[in-house]
Amino acid sequence: MAPQLSERTRMPSISFIVARSHPGNVIGYKNALPWHLGSDLKRFREVTTGHVVIMGLNTHVSIGRTLPKRINIVLTQSYMASNTSEIDVDADTQLIFTNKLEETLFVADVISICRGKKDIFVIGGQHMFDLFRKFVNKVYLTQVYAEVNGDAFFDMKFEQKEWKIIEEISVTKSEGTDDHNYLYSILSRRERKNRYAFVKNFLTDLDSKKLWLASNITKHREDIVNYVHENLELDV
């Protein structure tokens, strides 16, 4: 049964994927990773492929490219979106710039819903993890056993009463692949922080949302419009 306009719908869950030093909680230095972990990068690609990934501008710049087979959303107040919208889109439609948290979540939610994805990944840097911390339900955490210099940190603590470990893998460093030993863990919040939105408001409350749905994401327009017509019986 299609949801009614007055009904609430659950939004996709927010997950973090992050590598930090132990000790020190360093995640970056001079806008770069202070280590090379080939096996962890491979795992990062496998976990996030097909999903929406959210990052800050410095993280986007440090990566140096749009991550393939993912929708890359860059949240930065220094980027002035065009056409009076809070959202702007690169020509290849895999890279989206936003400058407000609400708009970022809207774009991430609607693309994830249309793709049938239940998770959205925040991948850095420090400010993004702080900004989305109140929403996060799952953390893919790599603890790198190395003392390194750093200027960006991830100091989130995982108390047993609030978090449970659902997977844990110890990895030994290997020449040419991983610079350091590390521990990879997946942690899940015991009491999920679910986000809900009323269907009508989620799709129609802001002019920038209407503009985005109407024209900005050309690659996803057909999927989104079909979803709206078939499931929500709204006219876009």
Summarize the confidence of residues 115-126 as an average pLDDT: 94
User: How far is it, in rounded angstroms, from Cα 72 to Cα 92?
Assistant: 11
122: pLDDT strictly greater than 80: yes
Summarize the confidence of residues 193-215 as an average pLDDT: 58
Residue 66 lies in a domain: yes
pTM: 0.81
DSSP state of 228: I
Residue 110 lies in a domain: yes
Residue 192 lies in a domain: yes
Instruction: Count up the domains in the chain and report the number.
Output: 1
Residue 212 lies in a domain: no
The whole-chain average pLDDT of the chain stands at: 82
19: pLDDT strictly greater than 80: yes
Chain centroid offset of residue 230 CA: 27
pLDDT in tens, 78-105: 654 433 344 555 545 588 888 888 888 8
Domain harbouring 103, CATH code: 3.40.430.10
106: pLDDT strictly greater than 70: yes
| Neighbouring residues of 71: CB distance < 8 A, sequence distance ≥ 6 | 51, 52, 53, 94, 96, 108, 111
Quote the pLDDT of residue 219.
46
Domain residues for the domain of 21 are 11-196
Residue 220 lies in a domain: no
**If we measure between CA atoms, which residue out of 177, 101, 122, 171 comes closest to residue 142?**
171
Residue 177 lies in a domain: yes
Q: What percentage of the chain carries pLDDT values higher than 90?
A: 60
Residue 170 lies in a domain: yes
Which stretches within 91-194 are classed as H helix?
Answer: 101-115, 126-132
Residue 218 lies in a domain: no
13 band by pLDDT with thresholds 50, 70 and 90:
very high
